[in-house]
Structure formats: structure tokens, C-alpha cells
Structure 1
Amino acid sequence: MSLYPLKFKPIYKERLWGGSKLKDVLNKDAEGDLIGESWELSAVKGDVSEVANGALKGKRLTDLIRIYKEKLLGKKVYEHFGEDFPVLIKFIDAQKDLSIQLHPNDELAKKRHDSFGKTEMWYIMQADEGAELIVGFNKDVEKSEYVDHLENNKLEEILNYEKVREGDTFFINTGKVHAIGAGIMLAEIQQTSDITYRVYDWNRKDKDGNTRELHTELALDAIDYDKKDDFKVNYTGEKNKVNSMVECPYFTTNYLNIDGNLTRNISDRDSFTIYMCVEGEAKIANENGEEKLKKGETLLLAADSKEVNIEAVSAKLLEVHI
């Protein structure tokens, strides 16, 4: 069977810090009042995406990979990752501040958890007035200084805060302490990993009166203690062109601002391609079919796609491939 443009059923996650924007703004059909995440494309064990459209409806992403292999993933991707889908795609709504956390690199994650590390990027889709992210430290910090601030409830004094607005984009490499602040809705692209070291959670408790687990000791050898200004992504927004955002070993992301029509030959990409619609509505087609993509929806094109055509009156898309 030909691999037409594939949509998947979102996997919703209730979170202590979640809200209602995924339902109210992105029209997600999630139940519950604290929906923090919509996993759009996932092969994480226990949370595998299912096809939502066409003849393959109901098939799991892992089933498709097992059947179609490099035809779906691309030869280079399949040779490197085998049947492990290498990225996890999400929309996130933070009604409250997320915990301060970080992710280990590949080496540490493999050694401790038999997992990939977690490099990620964020595209801000909406932000309330004054909303902020925490990204890194505001100065170079010694490990002992970090521990002192953590133990004495002063960690905020050495953290770097960034006010954000729609369109701002951040690259979060492994080891960097970070947190999504209250009032922010964003698109997240990351390595396939659910390994997070939580170091501070604002001393809050869940509905049962319990505090969440912290990973204080695990985090000590995983943190990058240096102040770095390597997280803000600068990109152009030219219409009907491919605007480069992030290129790293784990994913490449482009920004597409479509007002009209964009047709591209992608036959030499040797990778699947993902489109996340972050504004407007577009029609995306390859030689095997077409699908409409609305704000808050995600689409997967197989690696054997020869050409992609994107048509829109006004749409903003994130394009992801390996």
C-alpha cells in the first residue's frame, strides 16, 4: 500500500500544571481540565501513536515502521535507529510553571536508563502578557554553589529568565536547566526520550497532597553549569520559502510561512518529513494523496515521497526531518 500523508490520533496527558488552551485554542477533543500535553507523534513504549486517516487508520506507528522500514523512515534513518522512531512531537500548554528540570545526554542516558538523551526545541505559539521561560543560568556556576542554592531554596537567584512572545524559538540542549513558565503554549520537537531530571518543583503538592519526585543526585553530573547564550534561535520568516531554524544531529527544523503555493522536490532527503501547523490552515500533498492541516495538527510524510506541495491562503508550519 502506498504511504499517503498520515495523520495520527493525539495522545493527551493530564499534568499538574496543565490548562485548557489545547482544547480552547487548538480544538483538541481531550477530556479533563488540566491537559498539559498532546503527544502528536510518538513511538514511546506505552504511548504509541495510531493512524487517524485513510486506509491505514488504526495502525500503530511502530507497526508501520516494522512493515515499511526505510520506505517510511529513510535508508540513513533506518540504518542508524532501526525500528526506533527518533523524534517525539508535542503541543504543550502550561497554565502553571513547570518544574525546573534538565535532560541527560545520550551517553549518560544510555548508561543509566538504556535510553536516548533528550535534546529539544520549543516554538512559542501563544504567550500571556509577561510570560517567561527559564533557560540556563544567569552566570557561570560551580557545582557546590548550585547545591547551596538548591538546598537553601534560592535556586531562582541564579537562573536565567527570558520573556517570550509568539514566534520565539528556543533550542534546549542536554544538560541545560530549563522550565516552561505559566501562560505559554508551545510546539515541542525532541529526541524520543521521556528521561527528565526534575530538580525543583516550587514545593507544590498534587491533589492527594504528595510532592513530586525530585532527581537531585542524578542531576548533579548531568548539569551544564556554564552560562551560555546558545538557546535563542534566529530565523527569517520569508513567505513561500524554506527558512532554516535548527540543524542538529537529532533533527532539522524549518519554518514555512505559506501564502500561496510552495512545491519542492524532497526525493533526495532520505528521511521522513513531519509538518506541524502552528497557525492557519494548509493543504499538503504528495504523489500518494493530500490532507488538510489545521492549526494544532501534525502530518507525517514517508521518506519515499518524491515531491511535496503546500497550498494555503495563510499558514505557518514547522517542517521536521532527520
Structure 2
Amino acid sequence: MTKPYPLLFQPEFKERVWGGRALEQFGLNLPEGHIGEGWMIADHPNGTTTVVNGELAGKGLDQIREQLGRDWFGSKGFSEKNGRFPLLIKLLDCNDDLSVQVHPTDDYQGLPEGELGKTEMWYVLDAKPDAKIIYGLKEGVNREQLKDALENGTVMDTLQVVPVQTGDTFYIPAGTVHALCAGVVVAEIQQNSDTTYRIYDYNRPGLDGKPRELHVEDSLNVTAYEGSGATTMNTDHAAAGEWLELAASPYFIVEKGVLNGSWDLSTSPDSFTILVTCEGSGSLKWDGGSQDFTSGQCFLLPANLGSYSLEGNGTVLRSYLLS
């Protein structure tokens, strides 16, 4: 039986019309092109990450899920709908504006077979001066007004534009109209879904030179016009050795921790733990081993790992499932 240990994966990189080369700042070896997404921990038909460390090196997350099951991922560590790993962890480089978009809930009838809805959250790793995002509709905008704005080219007048800076966090429940804009790099924790409905894309061509597909009717159907429960927070007040809750949903809990020295921690039998290193470096230690870490790395800690410690200096995100 394989003894549990923290898993580090080879990312799956995705070229996007809005991508760039900023993920190289994390020491990642990017392929050529406009790289917008690094799928750091993924178990999806559109991208599955492979372990690069320890006894399980060379195995995909899907293989590990099938081989080691609930002992490693916890009693809640599987999607009830499709059996896959329930979360998808990404780093995003927004060298240009993303499309204005919205994601469906799990129960939307138009979802592709086997696909989940998409509730997500962002932690801003880097933001250029005057960076901004689109975060929700302006108050009072209803379906008919949004539809009219799309038809007459004034959709930007219906959207809230919010300034962002490094350390900001945004919780984006399904139904929230949103878009990252140019000059922002984020860590994204989300449901394991690749379903996005584009409302508006600035009339620009895609990588193939053709206009990108829009999904206006689906977008109008799934938008939460009365509010989705989206919340935002500046996290500069996070204290060393304490967890600051950034997002709490039925799909994940995300917390920020500031590391300054040594920090003793533990996993829970109910859920795996995901650690995202936002900045800094150090070592991750557990019974029987240790692993150095640096900014941009993402680790999957098995539910049965038990006690572990972080040593060093930096900022980390901790994600797990609601028990």
C-alpha cells in the first residue's frame, strides 16, 4: 500500500487569446504561445495533471483517484455527479481582457452530460497599476435590460467594474457575471468544470482569426439577476500563523495563511487539502518525508496524511471540502 504523501503535478497549459507569458515568473516551463491558464491540479476530460514526485510519479490524478479512492481523497472527495475529483486548481495570466462570462449551477438543464456547474474564487497574485475586473451586474439590471444591452451594443454599461490589487480575493458563485481584465494574475479554485458561457467578447477574433462563439441565451438563462452571493475582500490584514477565511461554499473552503517560521498542521479524514503557494518559499514536512516549495506550486495533500508542517516564509492558500 502506498504511504500517503503530498502530490505535486506537472501542469497542463492552455493557450488563450488573452494569455501571455507571466506564469514564467513562477519558474514554470511554458510552451510557446499566449498561455492563459496553467491547470495545476486537474482531473477533467479537457486536461488531467500527472504526478511528478514520489512513488506515484507518472500517474494521472484520474488513475490515483481510481487506485486509492476515499482513503486518499476523503469521504467527500469525489463529485457525486460524475465521480471525478471535485475541484480544479488553476493559475491564470490575463495579458488581455477575458470575455464577459457567466457559469451555470449544477442543476442547469443545458449542461453538457457529466459536466458540473462552476462556482469559483480568485486570489490576486499580481496586479498592474490601475488593474480592474468586471464583477457582477449593476444594481437593478434584469434579464430584459441585459438582453437589450447585448442587442444594442451597450452591455458594458450594465456591468460593475472593480479596481483590484495584489492580495484581493473574489468569491464568484455560479450565476455571477464576471471577467478578469488585462494586467492581472490570479490563482483560481473552482468546481471541476470547463463550462463557460460567453456573453460578450469585445468583437475580437480568436486564435484562429475567427470570432469566438457567444452563448447569449444560456448566459441570460443562468445569470443570477437578484444577486448570487458574491463577496470580495482585501486580505492585507492576514496574520502569521492564522487562517483567514476567503470563501466558504458548498463546494470548497478557501483560507489564506501567512507563514513566518514553522507551522504545525493536519489533514482531516473527510477531505483532501490543497495548498497553493502564492509567494515565498520553504519546506513541507510530514511523517516520512519533506518537499521544498516555492511560489506558484500547488500540492494535493491526501486526507489520510495526518500531521504535517510548513517551514519558511510566504503566503499560502489552503482549500478543502466542507465536512
TM-score, length-normalised on structure 1?
0.94
Q: Which residue is 2:172 aligned to?
A: 172
Worse overlay, 76-85 or 183-192: 76-85
Distance 2:110 2:63 in 1: 25
Do structure 1's residue 123 and structure 2's residue 140 form an aligned pair? no
Q: Any conservation in 2 of the 1:110–1:116 contact (CA below 8 Å)?
A: no
Unaligned runs of 5+ in 2: none
Residue 83 of structure 1: how far off its partner (Å): 3.8
Note the 1:105-184 alignment, pairs <5 A.
105-108=105-108, 113-184=113-184
For the residues of structure 2 that align with 1:78 and 1:196, how far apart are their CA atoms? 22
Q: Quick check: 297-306 or 231-240, which moved more?
A: 231-240
Partner of 1:274: 274
SS at match of 1:318: strand
CA-CA distance at 1:120 after TM superposition: 0.1
Q: Which residue of 1 aligns with 2:39?
A: 39
Aligned length: 319
Aligned 8 A contact 1:140 1:227 in 2: no
Cα deviation per residue 1:100-127 (whole Å; 9 max; x = unaligned)? Answer: 0000001006755432100000000001
For the residue of structure 2 that corresponds to 1:22, the secondary structure is helix
Which residue of structure 2 lines up, in the alignment, with residue 253 of structure 1?
254
Alignment partners' CA distance in 1, 2:138 and 2:282: 40
1:55 is matched with: 55
TM score, norm. by length of structure 2: 0.94
Equivalent residue, structure 2, for 1:316: 315
Are residue 202 (structure 1) and residue 199 (structure 2) matched?
A: no
Q: Distance in 2 between matches of 1:44 and 1:321?
A: 18
Structure 2 distance, partners of 1:82, 1:73, is 15
Computed over aligned residues only, the root mean square deviation of the Cα atoms, in angstroms, reads 1.8
Report the CA distance shift for 1:82/1:310 in structure 2 as closer, same or farther (over 3 A).
farther
Contact residue 138 and residue 227 of structure 1 kept, 8 A: no
Query: Do the aligned residues in 2 keep the contact of 1:106 with 1:116 (CA within 8 Å)?
Result: yes
CA distance in 2, matches of 1:54, 1:254: 27
Q: Residue 144 of structure 2 aligns to a residue in which SS? A: helix
Structure 1 window deviating more from structure 2 (78-87 vs 283-292): it is 78-87
Cα 1:46–1:144 change in 2 (3 A) is: closer
> Secondary structure in 2 aligned to 1:69?
helix
What SS is found at the alignment partner of 1:281?
strand
The residue type paired with residue 100 of structure 1 is: V
Which of 119-128 and 216-225 deviates more? Answer: 216-225
Hey, what's the Cα distance between the residues in 2 that align with 1:151 and 1:79?
38
TM-aligned CA distance change 1:238 to 1:81, over 3 Å: farther
Q: What's the offset of the Cα at 1:55?
A: 1.9
Aligned-pair CA distance for 1:184:
0.3
Query: Using the alignment, how far apart are the partners of 1:58 and 1:182 within structure 2?
Result: 35
Identify the residue that residue 214 of structure 2 maps to in structure 1: 214
